[in-house]
Amino acid sequence: MSDHRNRQTGENEYVCDHCKKRFLSKSSLTKHMDIHTGSYKCTECGKCCHSGSHLAVHRRSHSGEKPFECTVCGKRFTGSSNLVSHSRIHSGEKPHKCHLCDKAFSHAGSLNTHMRVHTGEKPYKCSLCDMSFSTSSNLQRHKHRIHSKSRPYDCRYCGKLFKTHIALKRHVRIHTDAKPYSCRHCSDCFTWRIQLKTHLLKSHNEGTWFTCDICQKKFSSKHDLKKHVQRHEAVKPYVCSECPKRFCTAFELRQHHSVHSEYRQFSCFFCDRLYKRKSAVKKHFKKCSVEHGVTGFVL
């Protein structure tokens, strides 16, 4: 039997044994297998195609040739199927419908990913911990946020390092007191989007509360509700690599890591005392700023 044999899972999904990619139908898997076993092979990158026409379209990705142009926005594509798929952005057409709920999608790949909401399948597993994810993008995001030690972005106000430019941009608001999220019903402005969402719910009855089925506590975001429910279920998926302790959230695990390290990244603006935790330096700063005769200073 070929090394690239077709294998069906218990969830009625078809899995490519070569790259582990999953498909909802056997025909989709068979078409995908041409990437690994097709008789028409690209001499530049080694990719296989099942027909000469598909190979010709693929070669345009190397030459830069894009003969198919969108009449609405002018964007160009290597193949007609890519143009058809793109045109759904303008038309709003969603031909790929989920047979278990009312959702519909523009692309078959999006439907494949959505189906994991119903099956609960998480085929992408982190090689560094026990966490599993429904998409490869979520796995890569997890690895970067949790396991990567690279922090190339530094704050010009306090020197704190961040893994992404977006994380740095959000952090700087603490120093500048920027409030980019404004309420359309009143003059209130907020530093964080979730603050605006909570305000709209509480003050203007706009939006939907997420309610815990166990204790009836309400939350303004589905993410906060999920974290709350984990505490009812005693689910602690985040495990410390230095000790047996487990935590409900990645943030709690990061906070805990300071116990095992002597690194003190938070410093007082006035006396340069160093602290492991942001909460500790903020508590100290309130007292220290008064001693230096300064009030109203935001750390």
At residue 6, does pLDDT exceed 80? no
pLDDT digits (tens, 9 = 90+) for 136-170: 888 887 887 778 778 888 888 888 888 888 888 88
Q: Which amino acid is located at 142 in the chain?
A: H
* Structure-derived torsion over alpha carbons of residues 168, 224, 149, 151, reported in degrees to the nearest 10: 0
Distance between CA atoms of 275 and 296, rounded to whole angstroms? 22
Residue-range definition of the domain harbouring residue 282:
268-299
Least-confidence region, from 77-81, 164-168, 271-275? 271-275
At residue 56, does pLDDT exceed 70? yes
Same domain, 234 and 288: no
Same domain, 84 and 29: yes
Same domain, 15 and 113: yes
Terminal CA-CA length for the chain: 65
Q: What is the CA radius of gyration of the chain?
A: 26
Query: What is the predicted pLDDT for the residue at 200?
Result: 92
Give the per-residue SS3 of 198-218.
HHHHHHHCCCCCEECCCCCCE
Query: What is the predicted pLDDT for the residue at 2?
Result: 37
Model confidence at 11, pLDDT cuts 50, 70, 90, reads: very low
Same domain, 232 and 287: no
- How many CB atoms lie under 10 A from the CB of residue 53? 11
Least-confidence region, from 2-6, 82-86, 133-137, 273-277? 2-6
Query: What is the predicted pLDDT for the residue at 204?
Result: 93
Three-point CA angle 190, 248, 137, nearest 5°: 75
Over residues 52-76, the mean pLDDT reads: 85
Query: What is the predicted pLDDT for the residue at 72?
Result: 86
- What backbone phi and psi angles, to 5 degrees, belong to 210? -105, 115
136 in any annotated domain: no
Same domain, 226 and 294: no
Residue 153 DSSP one-character state: E
Domain end, chosen from 70, 92, 119, is at 119
Same domain, 111 and 216: no
Least-confidence region, from 2-6, 134-138, 207-211, 233-237? 2-6
Domain count of the fold of the chain: 3
Residue 9 DSSP one-character state: -
Query: What is the predicted pLDDT for the residue at 196?
Result: 92
142 in any annotated domain: no
Nearest to 94 by CA among 152, 102, 190: 102
Least-confidence region, from 6-10, 40-44, 81-85, 187-191? 6-10
- How many CB atoms lie under 10 A from the CB of residue 272? 7
Q: For all residues of the chain together, what is the average pLDDT? A: 80
- Cβ–Cβ < 8 Å for 266, 285: no
Query: What is the predicted pLDDT for the residue at 182?
Result: 92
Model confidence at 295, pLDDT cuts 50, 70, 90, reads: low
- How many CB atoms lie under 10 A from the CB of residue 244? 6
- How many CB atoms lie under 10 A from the CB of residue 245? 13
Domain end, chosen from 119, 137, 163, is at 119
147 in any annotated domain: no
Over residues 85-105, the mean pLDDT reads: 87
Q: What is the CATH number of the domain that holds 230?
A: 3.30.160.60
At residue 185, does pLDDT exceed 90? yes
Model confidence at 109, pLDDT cuts 50, 70, 90, reads: confident
Model confidence at 233, pLDDT cuts 50, 70, 90, reads: confident
As a residue count, the chain comes to 299
234 in any annotated domain: yes
